[in-house]
Structure 1
Amino acid sequence: MSGTDKTKSGLDLKGPVIILVEPQLGENIGMTARAMGNFALSELRLVNPRDGWPNVAAQRAAAGADHIIDNVELFATVEEAVADLDLLLATTARAHDQAKPVLGPEAAASEIVSHIGGGGRAGILFGRERWGLMNDEVARANRIVTFPVNPGFASLNLAQAVLLMGYEWFKLSTTNALPFEKPERSPPASQHQIDAFFANLVRELDKVEFLRPAEKRDTMLVNLRNIFTRMEPSKQDMHTLHGVVMAIAEGRKGPAKGGVLDGEQATRLRALLAEHGRGMPAHESGTVRGLARLLRRNPTDAERMLWQALTRDRRFAGSFKRQTPIGRHIPDFVSFVHRLAIELVNEGETETIAQDRATRRAWLEDRDYRVIEMKVGDVERDLEQELARLQASLLQPK
């Protein structure tokens, strides 16, 4: 698992010596060193490694555990490798029929921690990859360690066996402390805060008649409250949830409206767009485009109706874009394929908007665009008639 934090220093713990007896593959030695580094084990001894030492494959597989690889101790025999130890454990997956205690990894780690804590020296023997430890090597150990694994497939990779022992020893040595815990960025929400949020939620749910039928209202409220109390929310959670509820409530226009502005507000925004666009130099067109993006997210009822028709009707689907710039101008709808623009005309619109449309129309027609004006009232009263008029215009020769 990746994620080592290079800014943190490692723990310096006095742990057991890891002894590999005649390891065959350099990669296994390197991966053993890596496993040791994970759990603050630092002393690695090798007894007669098959491919000699140092070993390039081991260095590569160590993946950063250089402090262990660089300090490996070499021995010719097991006897020499364990001579200074007064507690020796031998790991094996096979019963060697020797009269000595057999421990699981957790019990073995407990003995090691206790022994080292009393000033002793402990070591763990690991055998060859292919056939493990010999009887006479196991005979030197004070304890036998075996792992609770599938009896039909009991052999562990060398580094895996070291990892399991290192894990159990490290847990006990560090009182099972995790390297990090859930951050407490916000204190728990008070009952008063939860009550205030819940009252607001219920008020908004009543507005949309969610809590019905009436005879189930009390049960639904209890179930809803239990959802939030089970969460054990923080103050920040409550602020966020309150904001979510209010955003939905204040922006609720129904599927027919879309966005956060109603039709009247979108019309006023159109006027603002026209006012900003008049006589503006080309290098300032970003402001106009920003307003156009806002308008695109907040269509009027007529715009929405027409846009749905233009995108769903097979006669026009794929041909039109909405609130898309042509040069510095932004018509309501444009078809680049047909070089045709559609302008919606609101009843009672201001002189500024009318002048802006006239300027835009002249500019578009100078560039061989046809411009069709549709009155908003006509679109809302008889959309199909306006679509038929649009289709007729498309069929006319340019």
Structure 2
Amino acid sequence: MSGTDKTKAGHDLDGPIVILVEPQLGENIGMAARAMGNFALGRLRIVNPRDGWPNIAAQRAAAGADHIIGSVELFDTVEQAIADLTLVFATTARAHDQAKPVVGPEAAASEIAGHVATGGRCGILFGRERWGLTNEEVGLSNRIITFPVNPGFASLNLAQAVLLVGYEWFKRATSGALPHAMPERSERASQHQMQAFFDNLVRELDKVEFLRPAEKRDTMLVNLRNIFTRMEPTKQDMHTLHGVVMAIAEGRKGPAKGGVLDGEQATRLRALLAEHGQGGGVPDSGSTVRGLARLLRRNPTDAERLLWQALTRDRRFAGQFKRQTPVGRHIPDFVSFPHRIAIELVNPGEGEAIAADRAGRRTWLEARDYRVVDMQVADVERDLDAELARLEAGLRQER
């Protein structure tokens, strides 16, 4: 599973030493080192590797665990490899008929943690890929580690065995802390938002006569409302659900109705028109302009759709603004003629030509006593309520 983030610091834990006894394949050594790295086991000892050392196959299979491969300690015998240790575990899937405690990896991790905490040195023996550890090698250990596996198919790959022990050790050492969690959701939706959405949903359902028969309407409405209240939706959830309902209600217009654009395409077309609108550069053919106007009106950008829904349904603004089609040098996105306020939606990364065109439009509007309110598209899509509150404050100031 991919997930290594090289910008984050790893754990530096004082854990057990992994000892591979006569491993036969360099690939298995490398994969064992990778498993060690996953769980902050940093010390690897190898007893008499069959293909010698260093081993290019091990380096390749380590997949980045170079700090482990580069500091491997080599020994000729198991006795030499464990000579400085005070607690030794032997991993095996077979019963060796030895009077020796047998524990699972979780219990072994707990004992290792206590032993290391008091200054002890611990090691874990892993045997050969084909036949594991000999009776004599198991006899050198203080404990046997075995795994709760299918007795009819108990043999584990070398790296798998290292990984299982490493997992239990690391979980014990870090109290099972996970590396990441679900990101915090946006703020909970207000009851006002919930009601506005529900009113919108019911209005559209009534258009298609969904809430029938009449005697069951109230019960159906209660059930529908409970679906959404159980969700505990966020503000962003409400914006999304509003968009879903309106997309279904309005449908998509086919080519004969003026074409189909998604929100991103509509944004690019508006930017293209703005860039070519300097000095009246929009095509002067009446039919062309009318065609562009129809196309843009039927295919609003995502931010334009969100804002227009709010301006038409929110009681603070309903009936006070008109949505305009921005084809023409002096036409803003939204305008309130009674309040003489124009709203401009500003896309991120607008070029110099678009900025100049916008500045010229502002000058023209302000000269005619219109107040221009710029709204960043990113702000509208992220926190529409805040932008509406700012607009409401401006209306109060105007009064």
TM-score category by the smaller chain?
A: 0.5 to 0.7
Which residue identity lines up with residue 169 of structure 1 in the other structure? W
Q: Which runs of structure 2 are paired with 1:187-198 in the superposition (5 Å)?
A: 187-198=187-198
Q: Does 117-126 or 53-62 show the bigger shift?
A: 117-126
Q: CA deviation at 1:151?
A: 1.3
Q: Which residue of 2 aligns with 1:6?
A: 6
8 Å contact kept, 1:186–1:234: yes
Q: CA deviation at 1:257?
A: 9.0
8 Å contact kept, 1:258–1:298: no
Q: Which residue of 2 aligns with 1:214?
A: 214
Q: Which runs of structure 2 are paired with 1:280-295 in the superposition (5 Å)?
A: none
Q: Indicate whether 1:154 and 2:161 are aligned.
A: no
In the alignment, the residues of structure 1 paired with residue 4 and residue 285 of structure 2 have an alpha-carbon distance, to the nearest angstrom, of: 45
What are the superposed Cα offsets for residues 208-233 of structure 1, whole Å, 9 maximum, x if unpaired? Answer: 32111123223322332233234332
Q: Indicate whether 1:65 and 2:69 are aligned.
A: no
Q: Indicate whether 1:26 and 2:26 are aligned.
A: yes
What are the superposed Cα offsets for residues 346-371 of structure 1, whole Å, 9 maximum, x if unpaired? Answer: xxxxxxxxxxxxxxxxxxxxxxxxxx
Distance 1:25 1:213, change over 3 A: same
Q: Which residue of 1 aligns with 2:118?
A: 118
Q: CA deviation at 1:100?
A: 2.0
Which residue identity lines up with residue 218 of structure 1 in the other structure? D
In the alignment, the residues of structure 1 paired with residue 285 and residue 158 of structure 2 have an alpha-carbon distance, to the nearest angstrom, of: 65
8 Å contact kept, 1:35–1:166: yes
In the alignment, the residues of structure 2 paired with residue 3 and residue 160 of structure 1 have an alpha-carbon distance, to the nearest angstrom, of: 19
Q: Does 34-43 or 204-213 show the bigger shift?
A: 204-213
Q: CA deviation at 1:35?
A: 0.8
Distance 1:124 1:259, change over 3 A: farther
What are the superposed Cα offsets for residues 267-322 of structure 1, whole Å, 9 maximum, x if unpaired? Answer: xxxxxxxxx9xxx99x96999979757757989xxxxxxxxxxxxxxxxxxxxxxx
Q: Secondary structure at the match of 1:74?
A: strand
Provide structure 2 residue ranges, at least 5 long, that are not aligned to the other structure.
261-275, 299-399
Q: Which runs of structure 2 are paired with 1:250-329 in the superposition (5 Å)?
A: 251=250
Q: Secondary structure at the match of 2:123?
A: strand
In the alignment, the residues of structure 1 paired with residue 7 and residue 53 of structure 2 have an alpha-carbon distance, to the nearest angstrom, of: 32
- Figure out how many residues of one structure are paired with residues of the other and give that number: 282
What are the superposed Cα offsets for residues 70-105 of structure 1, whole Å, 9 maximum, x if unpaired? Answer: 000011111111122222111101011112221122
Q: CA deviation at 1:137?
A: 1.2
8 Å contact kept, 1:102–1:143: yes
In the alignment, the residues of structure 2 paired with residue 95 and residue 187 of structure 1 have an alpha-carbon distance, to the nearest angstrom, of: 58
In the alignment, the residues of structure 2 paired with residue 190 and residue 24 of structure 1 have an alpha-carbon distance, to the nearest angstrom, of: 64
CA RMSD of aligned residues (A): 3.4
Q: What TM-score, normalized by structure 1, do the two folds share?
A: 0.63
Q: Indicate whether 1:35 and 2:61 are aligned.
A: no
In the alignment, the residues of structure 1 paired with residue 38 and residue 287 of structure 2 have an alpha-carbon distance, to the nearest angstrom, of: 58
Q: Which residue of 2 aligns with 1:204?
A: 204
Q: Which residue of 2 aligns with 1:241?
A: 241
Q: Secondary structure at the match of 1:171?
A: helix
Distance 1:191 1:295, change over 3 A: closer
Q: Which residue of 1 aligns with 2:305?
A: none
In the alignment, the residues of structure 2 paired with residue 123 and residue 222 of structure 1 have an alpha-carbon distance, to the nearest angstrom, of: 64
Which residue identity lines up with residue 107 of structure 1 in the other structure? A
Q: CA deviation at 1:161?
A: 0.6
Q: Does 106-115 or 219-228 show the bigger shift?
A: 219-228
8 Å contact kept, 1:259–1:298: no
What are the superposed Cα offsets for residues 142-198 of structure 1, whole Å, 9 maximum, x if unpaired? Answer: 221111112111111101110111111111111111111111141233445333422
Distance 1:259 1:246, change over 3 A: farther
In the alignment, the residues of structure 1 paired with residue 216 and residue 128 of structure 2 have an alpha-carbon distance, to the nearest angstrom, of: 70
Q: Secondary structure at the match of 2:206?
A: helix
Which residue identity lines up with residue 38 of structure 2 in the other structure? N
Q: What TM-score, normalized by structure 2, do the two folds share?
A: 0.63
Q: Secondary structure at the match of 2:37?
A: helix
8 Å contact kept, 2:283–2:289: no
Q: Secondary structure at the match of 1:144?
A: strand
Which residue identity lines up with residue 100 of structure 2 in the other structure? K
8 Å contact kept, 2:258–2:294: no
In the alignment, the residues of structure 2 paired with residue 28 and residue 256 of structure 1 have an alpha-carbon distance, to the nearest angstrom, of: 60
Q: Does 37-46 or 237-246 show the bigger shift?
A: 237-246
Q: Does 251-260 or 156-165 show the bigger shift?
A: 251-260
Q: Which residue of 2 aligns with 1:80?
A: 80
Distance 1:295 1:188, change over 3 A: closer
Structure with the greater alpha carbon radius of gyration: 1
Which residue identity lines up with residue 226 of structure 1 in the other structure? N
Q: Which residue of 2 aligns with 1:55?
A: 55
Q: Secondary structure at the match of 1:175?
A: coil
Provide structure 1 residue ranges, at least 5 long, that are not aligned to the other structure.
262-275, 300-398
